[in-house]
Chain A
Amino acid sequence: DVKVTQSSRYLVKRTGEKVFLECVQDMDHENMFWYRQDPGLGLRLIYFSYDVKMKEKGDIPEGYSVSREKKERFSLILESASTNQTSMYLCASSSPGSGRRNEQFFGPGTRLTVL
């Protein structure tokens, strides 16, 4: 089975702190994704990566950056956390190919609270 793990289930940070959310997958997937999930807004794509060191902006990249130095790891960075970034963050991965790239496998999520 595909396993996607996220470094923390719950995280509490202060406004202005730099925050790192880590995601690791063990299925040698080329594609990795970061979403945030908010009540009433559903899942929104922040960034995705289709290869090491490659990244593409999603629908809401403002205030975030990402890093992918190794195939299995995809990091989401909040350069200066703000209270409106309090949310559930979900990482996902998928293999290449038509259809397969859309079949995404999700991690358990990180509930981030910014005070």
Chain B
Amino acid sequence: AQSVTQPDIHITVSEGASLELRCNYSYGATPYLFWYVQSPGQGLQLLLKYFSGDTLVQGIKGFEAEFKRSQSSFNLRKPSVHWSDAAEYFCAVGGGSNYKLTFGKGTLLTVNP
């Protein structure tokens, strides 16, 4: 069975500080990995995805994530956080012939001025 763990329910950072959101997954084959962002009352927006190849992937809004197969991790990073990054972030895993995308429970990011 596939699963995703986001260990941090809530993270608070200061504007301009660096950010890392953790994601660990369990999947029996080569995973496809995703990060989504959700602003309050909105749908989910795709930030970035990993299918294969370079393990460091770049996304929108200055975000990047690194796939580490040995650690079953796909952590999201941003070098300098902006107040507009305050939102909830979801990591997700899927793959193969499986239509299902399994989501983590999310990490809520608060940005202090």
Contacts and interface: CB of A to CB of B under 8 A. Distances in A.
Contacts of A99: 32, 51, 95
A42 B103 contact: yes
A31 B32 CA distance: 17
Contacts of A105: 46
B90 A42 contact: yes
A105 B106 CA distance: 17
B104 A42 contact: yes
Contacts of B28: none
Contact-residue bracket for chain B: 20 to 34
Given A102-B32, A102-B94, A45 B42 contact: no
Contacts of A107: 43
Interface in B15-65: 32, 34, 36, 41-46, 49, 51
A92 B103 CA distance: 14
Given A42-B104, A43-B103, A102 B45 contact: no
Contacts of B104: 42
A103 interface: yes
A42 B104 CA distance: 7
A98 B46 contact: no
Contacts of A109: 41-43
Is chain B's interface secondary structure helix, strand, loop, or mixed overall? strand
Contact of B99 (A40, A42, A101): A101
Given A42-B103, A42-B105, A103-B49, A98 B41 contact: no
Contact of B97 (A4, A90, A98): A98
A104 B99 CA distance: 10
B83 to A, nearest CB: 22
Given A45-B100, A90-B44, A103 B34 contact: yes
A106 interface: yes
Contacts of A103: 32, 34, 46, 49
24 contacts: A31-B99, A40-B105, A42-B105, A43-B44, A43-B90, A45-B101, A48-B100, A50-B99, A90-B44, A101-B94, A101-B99, A102-B92, A102-B94, A102-B95, A102-B98, A102-B99, A102-B101, A103-B32, A103-B34, A104-B46, A105-B46, A106-B44, A107-B43, A111-B41
